[in-house]
């Protein structure tokens, strides 16, 4: 074999330019097809209506996915009971409280005629209305306000439930009086005593009632003047239970 023939067998045969162009022709056709398909899909998208809600959901979903460290604001949970709701001032034993009040009013000149009655289910402190108010009036006198401020200090720190009941005798309200009925007068006097207790330091709500002369018949027999004076009393009623505790 000649040397020139060996060299021809070792080197590849060159491809003609016409043959190479024919082999790349499919690529141009494929590129044109992809471009047409992309144009078609863009045209479809431009003609469609995108729902804002769905689009926003997609954006939110992507935001949460791409921002895993996004801080979340968590509402502080409120307990049904906390220190403020659980804490209540304790109710004081009525026997002990009776002794304290009986000793305390001895030092208050205006209230020395006050009657303190310990009943089975409550303590009743009957304040003399004639010494606290002027006839037909529900505003306490200056001396009465001072006396009630001192007296209220005895009840200021107890947790017992307290109510105030105003009473009158059967005498009708005179013509031109500030109060047209004994119901209004007794209610006004009860409210005045309740406000005095609050100013003296009692921190819980006080319920004030006016009974007018509706309970006058329940008073024990006594001389007329003495019985009528007792009928014009204002009762402070102290319950054995603390405020908010069912009996």
Strands of 85-213 (E only): list them: 115-118, 123-127, 160-166, 207-210
Q: Tell me, yes or no, whether 207 lies in a domain.
A: yes
Q: Are residues 148 and 214 in the same domain?
A: yes
Q: Tell me, yes or no, whether 161 lies in a domain.
A: yes
The 10s digit of each residue's pLDDT in 124-151 is: 999 999 999 999 999 999 999 999 999 9
What is the predicted pLDDT for the residue at 71?
A: 46
The 10s digit of each residue's pLDDT in 172-231 is: 987 778 888 999 999 999 999 999 999 999 988 999 999 999 999 999 998 999 999 999
Residue 225 sits in which domain range? 94-242
Q: What are phi and psi of 222, to 5 degrees?
A: -160, 165
The 10s digit of each residue's pLDDT in 34-66 is: 888 878 777 776 666 656 666 577 667 766 665
- Buried b / exposed e over 27-39, threshold 16 CB at 10 Å, is eeeeeeeeeeeee
- Are 164 and 193 in contact, with CB atoms under 8 Å apart? yes
What is the predicted pLDDT for the residue at 243?
A: 80
Q: Tell me, yes or no, whether 31 lies in a domain.
A: yes
Percent of the chain with pLDDT over 90: 50
Check residues 27 and 243 and name the one with the higher pLDDT. Answer: 243
Q: Are residues 104 and 176 in the same domain?
A: yes
Q: Are residues 186 and 233 in the same domain?
A: yes
CATH number of the structural domain spanning residue 229: 3.30.1330.60
Q: Are residues 34 and 105 in the same domain?
A: no
Q: Tell me, yes or no, whether 134 lies in a domain.
A: yes
């Amino acid at each position: 074999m000649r040397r020139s023939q060996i060299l021809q067998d070792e080197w590849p045969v060159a491809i003609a330019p016409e043959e190479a162009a024919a082999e790349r022709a499919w690529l141009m056709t494929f590129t044109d097809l992809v471009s047409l398909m992309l144009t078609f899909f863009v045209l479809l998208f431009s003609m469609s209506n995108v729902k804002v809600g769905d689009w926003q959901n997609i954006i939110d979903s992507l935001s949460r996915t791409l921002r895993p460290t996004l801080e979340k604001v968590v509402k502080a949970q409120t307990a049904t009971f906390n220190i403020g709701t659980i804490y209540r001032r304790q109710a004081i034993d009525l026997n002990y409280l009776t002794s304290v009040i009986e000793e305390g009013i001895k030092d208050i000149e205006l209230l020395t005629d006050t009657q303190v009655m310990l009943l089975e289910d409550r303590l009743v402190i009957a304040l003399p209305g004639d010494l606290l108010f002027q006839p037909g009036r529900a505003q306490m006198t200056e001396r009465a306000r001072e006396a009630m401020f001192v007296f209220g200090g005895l009840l200021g720190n107890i947790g017992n439930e307290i109510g105030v009941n105003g009473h009158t005798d059967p005498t009708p309200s005179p013509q031109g009086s500030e109060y047209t009925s004994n119901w209004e007068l007794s209610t006004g006097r009860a409210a005045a005593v309740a406000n005095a207790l609050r100013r003296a330091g009692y921190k819980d709500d006080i319920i004030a009632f006016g009974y007018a002369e509706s309970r006058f018949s329940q008073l024990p027999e006594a001389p007329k003047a003495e019985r009528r004076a007792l009928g014009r009393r204002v009762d402070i009623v102290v319950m054995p239970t603390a405020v908010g505790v069912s009996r």
